[in-house]
Structure 1
């Protein structure tokens, strides 16, 4: 079984957590694509009345075309549940997100949700964060100076580019620096340090955000629940 099939297994299980009348947050990425399809099937089959906010125009377009009512976050009350993917999840339920470049919008939606549920294939579950490069969204002005500060801390920043060599731009026309750290033994310490670096718009450490993770395995979905 390949990774896409395991993503679909996780997404279809996560869709069962959606309830009639919910205000739903929809994330971004390949696993969320399967989630939106699964939720839309329930909307059609069961007549669920849902309203949703998306973290990318791609997700919003897909959901809207499949019959899910989409609104802007500014027009929504607190979200009941946000379901999103992740690039890495450690044993203590901390995460790295932003491989697709939507970390700022994803974090805004996540922090305006009562509950967050992450959906991943089994390869995303790791003992400790850091093998996946940590994305940070940064403003273009002063990029060289910020890069020097990050290099001085041995964070090994690499400016993200597209496959054609052009600079990767976020939804807000900012840049992404990917930090090739290798391991992050103290993510809260690093997150707080990054929060105080001028020029950093947001970082991809999602700490103490999700209490439930659905993991796709060849044998079926596994639900992991953080200790209360």
Structure 2
């Protein structure tokens, strides 16, 4: 099967977890785009009532275009099920994200969700997270120099993320900066996540240590669902 067929299989499996009346969380990426298309058809066919929260402008616009109601995150207390992608995830259900720069809000939605499910292909499933991808931090602007210093004390090499759309540093929707940190070796990702979160000025990290409950993995043999518990 090609990537598109695997993506569709994964999205079809995800639909089984979406019930009438649900509030669902959606991240971003090609798997989520495929899920939106199938969800729109299912809503129309079965007259379902489904509402979405998302940190992604692209996902929000796609939902609206496909006739799916989108709610502001700030008005939602709980999410029935949330779906997202990732850079990597390991056997401990530790996931690395951050490429899109909205990981703080992604983590908020993940924490609000009764079930937080990652849609992945089997190449992203590792025995243990690697250091291939930088670990990203959203930081308060005034803390930039201080956080950078503390990150270097932890063995990281911080780089402030810039934007292709304008001159200067990228600024998040909440008016913060993003630091992308390269580590050569990480022995304990949970401890590192705790250490980074303890730095004053850090709003959030791109490491998801507690949030993931299930993995929905597309393989050549079909879709495999792996539950944390």
Mapped contact 1:138–1:200 kept (Cα < 8 A): yes
Name 1:175's counterpart in structure 2.
Answer: 177
Q: Superposition pairs for residues 20-31 of structure 1, below 5 Å?
A: 20-31=20-31
In structure 2, relative to structure 1, the CA distance for the partners of 1:173 and 1:9 (3 Å cut) is: farther
Name 2:141's counterpart in structure 1.
Answer: 140
Name 1:149's counterpart in structure 2.
Answer: 150
Name 1:68's counterpart in structure 2.
Answer: 68
CA-to-partner distance for each residue in 1:155-181, whole Å, 9 max, x for gaps?
122222345775333222322111222
Matched position secondary structure for 2:25: strand
Gaps of 5+ in 2: none
The Cα shift of 1:66 comes to: 0.7
Name 1:210's counterpart in structure 2.
Answer: 212
Name 2:81's counterpart in structure 1.
Answer: 81
After TM superposition, the score normalised by the length of structure 1 is 0.90
CA-to-partner distance for each residue in 1:13-59, whole Å, 9 max, x for gaps?
21222111111111123322222112112112222111221122221
Indicate the larger mover: 22-31 or 157-166: 157-166
The answer to whether 1:221 aligns with 2:223 is yes
Mapped contact 1:12–1:34 kept (Cα < 8 A): no
Name 2:117's counterpart in structure 1.
Answer: 117
Question: How far apart, CA to CA, are the structure 2 residues paired with 1:137 and 1:213?
Answer: 25
Mapped contact 1:161–1:168 kept (Cα < 8 A): yes
Mapped contact 1:15–1:39 kept (Cα < 8 A): yes
Name 1:159's counterpart in structure 2.
Answer: 160
Question: How far apart, CA to CA, are the structure 1 residues paired with 2:106 and 2:156?
Answer: 23
The answer to whether 1:101 aligns with 2:96 is no
Aligned length: 227
In structure 2, relative to structure 1, the CA distance for the partners of 1:179 and 1:2 (3 Å cut) is: farther
The Cα shift of 1:5 comes to: 5.1
Cα RMSD after superposing both structures: 2.1
After TM superposition, the score normalised by the length of structure 2 is 0.89
Question: How far apart, CA to CA, are the structure 1 residues paired with 2:206 and 2:224?
Answer: 24
Mapped contact 2:107–2:211 kept (Cα < 8 A): no
Mapped contact 2:104–2:138 kept (Cα < 8 A): yes
Mapped contact 1:82–1:117 kept (Cα < 8 A): yes
